Amino acid sequence: MSDSVVKITLIASIILMGYNISEFATSFKAVREKVGEFLSLARENSASDKDLRLTNLVTSCLLSLGYVTLVYFSDIVVWVVALVVLKLVITLLLSDKLLIQVLRDGTLSKKSYLVSKLDALFNAVMGFVFAVILVL
């Protein structure tokens, strides 16, 4: 495709990698504090669990769809694009499961924290791999 789509995809891949490295590096204590802040904001704004989950779903889907579209139009092999879609769907499902747990229990378990760290690591690697593929 065009050179500009590849450049935009490269930037998006670097942002994906950087954000997920940041998520991976965040400590359990810091994440628990963020969960507490999130819950207090949700209560303060009288947001329902359904509204929070819908917002998470829509935002995550739009960002994922945008990234997949960029990858697709960067002339990447279709089966690789399918793997990206699968990975982002898994991330979305894990995100929703984590949100459900936080809303139900009011806290974050160590197991969920470790699963989210592993997911962030895989997303960072995915962003790095695509950045390298696009540069080469």
pLDDT, tens digit (0-9, with 9 covering 90-100), for 17-37: 999 999 999 999 999 999 989
pLDDT at 77 over 90: no
**Residue 47 has what DSSP assignment?**
-
Stated pTM of the model:
0.87
Q: What is the dihedral of CA 116, 122, 123, 126, to 10 degrees?
A: 180
Contact criterion met (CB below 8 Å) for 18 and 93:
no
Retrieve residue 132's tokens. 């390298």
Amino acid type, 69: T
- In the predicted model, what is the mean pLDDT of residues 55-77? 92
Give the per-residue pLDDT at 133: 87
pLDDT of res. 94: 94
Distance of CA 89 to the CA centre of its chain: 10
